[in-house]
C-alpha cells in the first residue's frame, strides 16, 4: 500500500501550530526553577515552524517532500534560497535570522542544556519571520487547494 503524500496545506498547518505555540509560550511565561529553559525552547519552535513553512511552499510548487528531506534535511538556508527562486520575499532581518539559524548551533542549544555564550536574536525577529512566511506562503498554499479557513498567526491581546 502506497503511503499518502503530505500536502502543502498539512505542512503549512503544522508550521502554524509550532509558530503559534511559540507565541503562546512567550506570552504566558511561568515561574519555574529553570524559567529560561522552556523560554529558550521558543527558538526551537520558531526554527521548526520556519523550516516547515519553507517546505510547504516548495511542496505547493510540486517538489516531493521526501526528496526535500533527503536533499536538504533541516538546512533552512538552501531551503530559503530555493523558495526565493519561487518568488518568496525575505527582509534583511529575515535573512539575518536564517543565516544565524544556519551558521550557529542555536537549534541544538535551544533543546539541550548548554553553558556558555550564544549569539541569538530576539524572539520578535523570529515571530516577524514566521508572520511574513505565514502570510506569503499561506496565500499560495491555500489558493492551490480546496481547503478553506486558513489559520491566523497572532499574538495574545
pTM: predicted TM-score of the whole model, two decimal places: 0.86
Residues 47-58 pLDDT 10s: 999 999 999 999
Cell readout for 27 is: 506570552
Residue count (the chain): 157
What are the two backbone dihedrals, phi and then psi, of residue 78, each rounded to the nearest 5 degrees?
A: -65, -30
- Alpha-carbon gap, residue 113 to 108, rounded angstroms: 9
For the chain, the average pLDDT equals: 85
pLDDT in tens, the chain (157 residues): 666 688 999 999 999 999 998 888 877 766 777 666 666 777 888 999 999 999 999 999 999 999 999 999 989 999 999 999 999 999 999 999 999 888 665 555 555 556 666 667 788 898 999 999 999 999 999 997 888 888 999 876 5
Amino acid at each position: 500500500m502506497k503511503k499518502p503524500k503530505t500536502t502543502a496545506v498539512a505542512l503549512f498547518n503544522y508550521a502554524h501550530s509550532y509558530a503559534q505555540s511559540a507565541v503562546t509560550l512567550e506570552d504566558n511565561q511561568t515561574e519555574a526553577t529553570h524559567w529560561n529553559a522552556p523560554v529558550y525552547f521558543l527558538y526551537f519552535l520558531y526554527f521548526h515552524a520556519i523550516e516547515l513553512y519553507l517546505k510547504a511552499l516548495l511542496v505547493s510548487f510540486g517538489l516531493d517532500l521526501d526528496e526535500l528531506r533527503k536533499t536538504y534535511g533541516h538546512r533552512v538556508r538552501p531551503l530559503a534560497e530555493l523558495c526565493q527562486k519561487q518568488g518568496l520575499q525575505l527582509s534583511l532581518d529575515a535573512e539575518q535570522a536564517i543565516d544565524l539559524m544556519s551558521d550557529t548551533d542555536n537549534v541544538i542549544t535551544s533543546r539541550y542544556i548548554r553553558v556558555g555564550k550564544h549569539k541569538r536574536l530576539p524572539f520578535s525577529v523570529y515571530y516577524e519571520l514566521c508572520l511574513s512566511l505565514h502570510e506569503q506562503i499561506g496565500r499560495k498554499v491555500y489558493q492551490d487547494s480546496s481547503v478553506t479557513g486558513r489559520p491566523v498567526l497572532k499574538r495574545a491581546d
